[in-house]
Amino acid sequence: MLFLVDAMLGNVAKKLRLLGFDSEYFSDIDDSELIEKAKNENRTIISRDHDLINRAKKNEMSFVYITKENEIEQFLEILESTHLKLDEISGDAARCTKCNSLTSQISKSEIKNKIPQGLLEYHDKFWKCDGCDQIYWEGTHIKNLQEFVHKINL
Ligand SMILES: [Zn+2]
């Protein structure tokens, strides 16, 4: 399932990417462009903008209408309308939070001079974005996400 997340929901887009869902997000895009892109790429629109959701409805596109403020409740709305389930978080499945590309595991020797020595000693697994070369490790963002998913599944 592919998503297109509207500009007001940047945090949702970031979490969906870490969870491994292909989620396009643009901080600055007008509604017509967004509708067109979602249609062309067969993406489910996630939005809290009533007008945008109405346009998606008229175009018979799939959408998730977010009405809650709380992030956990927002994710419950997404899971409810998409019938997706969230399991354990894995760094291998995560997509780049910056550009939505897939990430690949890389060896420590490849990044030896690119990240602080402390990180290399403290972590075993590292990933690099296939798109923008951003380097990831199972740091606090993954731990926080694990807790987040745990709360969703309670
Ligand atoms: Zn990237």
Q: Concatenated DSSP letters for 65-77?
A: E---SSHHHHHHH
Residue 88 domain flag: no
Residue 48 in this model has a pLDDT that exceeds 90: yes
Same domain, 78 and 47: yes
The pairing of strands 63-65 and 44-47 is parallel
Same domain, 69 and 113: no
Residue 12 in this model has a pLDDT that exceeds 80: yes
Same domain, 27 and 78: yes
Same domain, 73 and 11: yes
Q: How many structural domains is the chain composed of? A: 2
Residue 114 domain flag: yes
Residue 126 in this model has a pLDDT that exceeds 80: yes
Same domain, 65 and 16: yes
Between the alpha carbon of residue 134 and those of residues 37, 87, 97, 102, 128, the distances in Å are 25, 25, 9, 11, 6
Same domain, 70 and 134: no
For the record, the structure tokens of 134 come out as 């951003």
Protein residues with C-beta less than 5 angstroms from the ion ligand 1 = 96, 98-99, 101, 129, 131-132, 134
- Mean pLDDT computed over 1-18: 95
Residue 90 domain flag: no
Same domain, 37 and 76: yes
Residue 2 in this model has a pLDDT that exceeds 90: yes
Range of the domain at 123: 103-152
pLDDT > 90 in the chain, percent:
72
For residue 57, the CA-to-ligand 1 centroid distance in Å is 31
The pLDDT assigned to 16 comes to: 96
For residue 54, the CA-to-ligand 1 centroid distance in Å is 32
Between the alpha carbon of residue 126 and those of residues 10, 16, 93, 139, 144, the distances in Å are 24, 20, 13, 10, 17
Residue 140 domain flag: yes
For residue 127, the CA-to-ligand 1 centroid distance in Å is 11
Residue 31 domain flag: yes
For residue 94, the CA-to-ligand 1 centroid distance in Å is 11
The pLDDT assigned to 141 comes to: 76
pLDDT for 95-113, tens place per residue?
999 999 999 999 999 988 8
Q: What is the C-alpha separation between 109 and 84, in angstroms, rounded? A: 37
Residue 32 in this model has a pLDDT that exceeds 80: yes
pLDDT confidence of 138, banded at 50, 70, 90? confident
- Mean pLDDT computed over 82-88: 87
The pLDDT assigned to 88 comes to: 77
